[in-house]
Chains A and B, each alone.
Chain A
Amino acid sequence: MKLRKSAAVAAAIAALSLTATACGGKEGSAGDKPEGPAKSGGKELSYTVKKDVSVDSSVFKAAKKRGKLIIGAKADQPYLGFEDQSTKERSGFDIEIAKMVAADLGFSPKQIEWKTVDSGARETAVSKGDVDLMIGTYTINDERKKQIDFAGPYFHAGASLLVRKDEKDIKGPESVRGKKVCSIVGSTPLQNIKKPKYGAKVTELSKYSECVAQMLNNQVDAVTTDDAILMGYAAQNKGKLKVVGKPFSDEPYGVGLKKGDTTLQKAVADAIKAHQENGDYKKAFDATIGISGSEYQEPPAFTDPK
């Protein structure tokens, strides 16, 4: 009993001191980081916020009333959708796209409320309105279109493979037979690579970054998902990882929004189009995934909202 009591007291003290020290401590950003907010020519990218925008959409009106646009994003994908855990700053290509769209809808970056949404939860988050827009390496496909609508595509990625630098056997999807390949639960490239044609052993986790950590631990041999995502990880872990092989699928990224909201869908598409035309899109690209090694491609043509 005595031991228990003193242990409890010690634990209480530990917890208290931890919370007490929460104030103070070093300022700035911890750990190795991709660059913070995207910069171009030394200046932070910014977009002119339009005034008096009105879109005939319930989601938009609710956001206007709230004064905040809630955008779902990824938090663990360097150069695409990344959140620095010490400064809570978000950076990456998807984040820039989100800021562009928000600006054209009349919301300044300060008026964006970010929510971290993992891949598996995206449809639910959008369809039940936890987020107004979902911008996070979101591939447009038919199954998802049953539940939500997309504006876009604004970017084309393709599934590829990330391996350790010293890996010699894996050169592309044809050479993964019997190797351990990691991706997230239920993702499409994973379903493909499991097929007898490729014959890989798969490992399913809930975050890509956890797959990368497992690869650095030698628990898996490769990580598969869209090349843009993989290049971000390769750049974050310079000299340890590399992307191999040609993309073996086509993943058009879109902005996810509530099903049936065609006016908002059009407004978002117009916003992205406008920024593609005035050069913001390319600047954002160069300042984010351009750094991690993706080559600039002309933005894909939009599929018209139905």
Chain B
Amino acid sequence: MSANVLFDAPGPKARVRNIIYTVIGSLAVIGGIVWIILRLNDKGEFDPDLWGIFNYSGIRQNILDSLVATLKVFALAGVLSLVFAVVLCVARLSEHRPVRWFAVAFIDLFRSIPLLITIFAFWVGLVGDMEPFWALVLGLTIYNGCVQAEVLRAGINAVPTGQKEAAYALGLRKTQVMATVLFPQAIRSMLPSIISQLVVTLKDTSLGFMILYPELLQSARLIANNTPVNGVYPFVQTVTVFGVIYISLCMILSGIATWLERRGRRAKTGIKVAAAAEPAAVAEIVDTAPDKK
């Protein structure tokens, strides 16, 4: 249902009312923003000296280094989690009962434990010695792999059974059916959810601060804590700058999702791409967890 079905094309009275609401609404939103800006100004948060710290090449280099560190973890964990998801998903759909049960138990368990604890457990060495980098990558891989596996399963279940039957009728083996018929369609239809879970993966790299991995947020905290200017700790400034970085990264990823989705829709295959709605909305329609952190 698109939004415009929810209300009538406004008549003269409603139009006036809508204009009034628009004015009040705008005033409220603008008023809120102005109020926050005024408060910030009152507290001297717009002092150029405070923002000046980001003009230093050292600080910029620092941010760049941690950005690279974050992206490194994200890239590796993203790829590995997808690979792991495919494996788990196949196991979850297996005809052998023990394998299926194992997959169900594994997915259920790791989706219920806070990622923070999984990462911490890997780091303190519950399963062998591990560098912070690998603890972070492994934790992210397992957790997001479980979520992505459920997304893929939902995608495969959404492929019309006729497809599978036709493939078997052609004499394809199970592996071939999976690899050439089911997965391509499942991945295409679930692409928006997969990408929105990748956004979650990207955000979750920030949990590296717990285990001394020098990612973006770790360096944000150190900059805010260690660079007081005229006796003021630049929390507002660092939070703003790092917030913009995170939001940009996530929006770029979501942008890619939207683009892919549109491309997918153009290629007319039998099944519908999950929805025309926003990627994340789809993630939530699917019965799987849009687990996020």
Using a CB–CB distance below 8 Å, which chain A residues touch chain B?
1, 4-5, 7-9, 11-12, 14-15, 18-19, 21-32, 75-76, 82-88, 115-118, 121, 124-125, 128-130, 207, 209-210, 212-213, 216, 236-240
The interface bits of chain B over 180-219 (1 if a CB of A lies within 8 angstroms of the residue's CB, else 0) are 0000000000000000000000000000000110100001
**B244 and A213 form a contact (CB under 8 A):** no
**A85 and B58 form a contact (CB under 8 A):** yes
The interface bits of chain B over 11-34 (1 if a CB of A lies within 8 angstroms of the residue's CB, else 0) are 000000000000000000000000
Given contacts A5-B255, A8-B255, contact A75 B53 (CB under 8 A): no
**B248 and A11 form a contact (CB under 8 A):** yes
Is B225 in contact with chain A by the CB < 8 A criterion?
A: yes
Closest-by-CB residue of A relative to B251 is: A11
Using a CB–CB distance below 8 Å, which chain B residues touch chain A?
52-53, 55-64, 67, 123-125, 129, 131-132, 211-212, 214, 219, 221-235, 244-245, 247-249, 251-252, 254-255, 258
Is chain B's binding surface mostly helix, strand, loop or mixed? Answer: helix
Given contacts A85-B226, A209-B225, A213-B235, contact A12 B252 (CB under 8 A): yes
A-B contact pairs, 10 of them (CB 8 A): A11-B252, A11-B255, A15-B252, A30-B55, A30-B56, A30-B227, A86-B53, A86-B57, A125-B212, A240-B231
Q: Which residues of chain A are near B52, meaning CB under 8 Å?
A: 30
**A19 and B53 form a contact (CB under 8 A):** no
Q: Which residues of chain B are near A9, meaning CB under 8 Å?
A: 255
**A121 and B211 form a contact (CB under 8 A):** yes
**A87 and B58 form a contact (CB under 8 A):** yes
* CA of A207 to CA of B212, assembled, Å: 13
Closest-by-CB residue of A relative to B219 is: A85
Given contacts A5-B258, A11-B248, A19-B64, contact A29 B58 (CB under 8 A): yes
* CA of A118 to CA of B222, assembled, Å: 11
Contacts between the two chains (Cβ within 8 Å), count? 143
**A12 and B248 form a contact (CB under 8 A):** yes
**A85 and B227 form a contact (CB under 8 A):** yes
* CA of A132 to CA of B254, assembled, Å: 42
Interface centre among B62, B132, B223 (most CB of A within 10 A): B62
- Shortest Cβ distance from B138 into chain A, in angstroms? 15
Selected contact of A213 from candidates B61, B124, B233, CB within 8 Å: B233
**A11 and B247 form a contact (CB under 8 A):** yes
* CA of A28 to CA of B53, assembled, Å: 10
Closest-by-CB residue of B relative to A82 is: B226
Seed contacts A26-B55, A237-B231; 20 additional CB < 8 Å A-B pairs: A12-B248, A15-B244, A15-B248, A23-B57, A26-B56, A27-B58, A28-B58, A30-B55, A30-B229, A31-B227, A32-B229, A32-B231, A76-B225, A83-B222, A83-B226, A87-B58, A128-B124, A128-B129, A237-B228, A240-B231
- Shortest Cβ distance from A3 into chain B, in angstroms? 11
* CA of A65 to CA of B84, assembled, Å: 36
* CA of A26 to CA of B54, assembled, Å: 9
Q: Which residues of chain B are near A26, meaning CB under 8 Å?
A: 55-57
A-B residue pairs, 7 tightest by C-beta: A86-B58, A8-B255, A31-B227, A209-B225, A15-B248, A25-B57, A11-B248
Closest-by-CB residue of A relative to B262 is: A1
Q: Which residues of chain A are near B231, meaning CB under 8 Å?
A: 32, 216, 237-240
Q: Which residues of chain B are near A207, meaning CB under 8 Å?
A: 221, 225
- Shortest Cβ distance from A258 into chain B, in angstroms? 13
Closest-by-CB residue of A relative to B218 is: A116
* CA of A8 to CA of B56, assembled, Å: 27
Closest-by-CB residue of B relative to A23 is: B57
Q: Which residues of chain B are near A24, meaning CB under 8 Å?
A: 57
- Shortest Cβ distance from A77 into chain B, in angstroms? 10
**B228 and A236 form a contact (CB under 8 A):** yes
Selected contact of A32 from candidates B211, B222, B228, B249, CB within 8 Å: B228
